[in-house]
Amino acid sequence: MAVVVEREKWELSPLTYGFLFFCCFFCVFLRPYFSRSGGAAARMTATVSSLSDLDRTASFLRFHSRFLLLYFLASVMEGLELFIGEYEFSYIRMSREQMVLAASAGAAASLVIGTFIGFLCDIIGPRKLCILFYFIHFLVGILKSLTMHPSILLSSLCIGITSTLYSFCFETWMVNKYEKHEHRMDLLSDSLLHDHRMDLLSDTFWLMTLLESSSLLGSQGLANFLIKDPHKGLLSPSVSAALLAIISILFIRKEWGDNHQKCTIKSYQKSFTGHILADKSIWMLGWAQASVHFSVSVFWILWAPTIVADGRELQLSNIYPCFLGSRMLGSTVFPWFSGTTSPLHNEEYSHLIAAFFVAGAVLSIIAYDYQDIGVLVVLFCIFHACVGLILPSLAKLRTMYVPSELRGGMISTSLVPANAAFLSVLVIGGYYRSLSNAVIMALASMGLLISVGCIHLLRRWKKHTHQNWHEL
């Protein structure tokens, strides 16, 4: 008598999407009602009017809204290329070794070329690098539109460069614009006005993280809609990405001129060595950034194999939106901890230390023991919520510690160990299969837990600096 073993397919409850959506909604729209200083906005408006600075503030707000639109389009293009790249791998039936080599080529391009592009961003200006980002996407889109089987290696190299540009050139451009508007102020001693502008900059950081997550989610649906017949190639998504790139380039050239003050390589090298390489605080901040970048990169290559281990059955495309929704939730929580009127604002670094610790602990649990699918999904969602909180927090700390004219080089330099470690993981663990997935996940967890100590040191050094200043 034969025994029939029934295999039940695990499915995610549709209520999960609604829960994440309403949590994000409440975090955004209820925060003003719980602010500790309800009249601060009104007093700030009166102060701005009395200083005749309303026009300058409105000018930055106009740039702010247009910049977020450009950043949204850039995020959509990044998501399209990511989804199309995965579709190409399965469509042309690449082997595991071929996929690893293509991914390694992109990581190598980020490691070698991306590092120097960060310095170039500071020297010639981030606006030109943003145009370069869109132009590379345009070339890749045209290449994939004209050829039925484009060079996967060439595409991976280009996407590796654009991913590196995306990680720092837009943020650097926005901060430089903010600094120019800040320097135009005649009365910077007004603390209320200055605090309001710092809050505006912090809001921009979490909005960038929110838009990145939402656009990645939307680009998946857009790509699924455009790819109707796999036998006709990838014409429609590629044309869409190229059109978005052209629109963005024309919009940048029309709306903003290039008023960046260029510097010589020698003067930049001297300034970078004195302000970045010689500052131990920036080393701590750079390690924290590298650990997040490495852990996110590792997550995207290991989450699917981890969940479907032992032949478990589920629909991966239904789980992917939960991760991005959790990151959106984390970014919407950030304003509750940051800002002069934030309801939970107590210790400036406490929420960041807690987020790093929770993210590292979650990855360590996943690396240590086998888990059910439901538990794994919850742990991965918690990890992404922590990432959504960490990214804008680190961007704010960079504004406090890193000069705006050195920001691109600092970010690209901090990503060097992350890109080098990720390339090593791809080669050793993916190609030669000498590292297990659990070990790779444990390495990512270790980096995040070390970052807890780095941020703790930053807090101690800042307190020590303030105490010495008061004693003087």
How do residues 184-237 score in pLDDT, each as one tens digit? Answer: 544 444 555 555 667 778 888 999 999 999 998 888 877 777 776 544 544 567
Return the H-helix or E-strand segment holding 288.
helix 280-307
11's CB contacts (< 8 A; 6+ apart) are 314, 315, 318
Half-sphere exposure in the Cβ direction for 449 (13 Å, CA) = 12
| Per-residue model confidence (pLDDT) at position 339 | 66
CA neighbor of 87 nearest in space, from 97, 99, 75: 99
Tokens 């719980």, residue?
Answer: 34
- Tell me 338's DSSP state: S
The model's pLDDT over 227-268, given as tens digits with 9 standing for 90+, comes to: 765 445 445 677 888 899 999 999 888 877 666 667 788 889
Q: Which CATH number fits domain 62-467: 1.10.1740.10, 3.40.50.720, 1.25.10.10, 1.20.1250.20?
A: 1.20.1250.20
Question: Band of the pLDDT at 328, cuts 50, 70, 90?
Answer: very high
Whether the Cβ atoms of residue 212 and residue 219 lie closer than 8 Å to each other: no
The secondary structure of 222-241 as a DSSP string is HHHHH---GGGTTHHHHHHH
Least confident of 4-13, 128-137, 271-280, 360-369: 4-13
The model's pLDDT over 23-64, given as tens digits with 9 standing for 90+, comes to: 998 888 887 777 655 444 444 444 444 444 555 566 667 778
The domain ranges of the chain are 62-467
pTM for this one? 0.89
| Per-residue model confidence (pLDDT) at position 133 | 94
Question: Band of the pLDDT at 170, cuts 50, 70, 90?
Answer: very high
Average of per-residue pLDDT values in the chain? 81
CA neighbor of 449 nearest in space, from 385, 365, 361, 384: 361
User: Three-state SS for 315?
Assistant: coil
Whether the Cβ atoms of residue 290 and residue 414 lie closer than 8 Å to each other: yes
Structure tokens at 154: 């060439």
Whether the Cβ atoms of residue 342 and residue 335 lie closer than 8 Å to each other: yes
From residue 117, alpha-carbon distances to 132, 162, 208, 272, 404 in Å are: 11, 10, 21, 15, 16
- The C-alpha atoms of residue 395 and residue 285 are separated, in whole angstroms, by 10
Whether the Cβ atoms of residue 299 and residue 380 lie closer than 8 Å to each other: yes
| Per-residue model confidence (pLDDT) at position 101 | 86
- The C-alpha atoms of residue 345 and residue 337 are separated, in whole angstroms, by 5
Percentage of residues in the chain having pLDDT higher than 90: 38
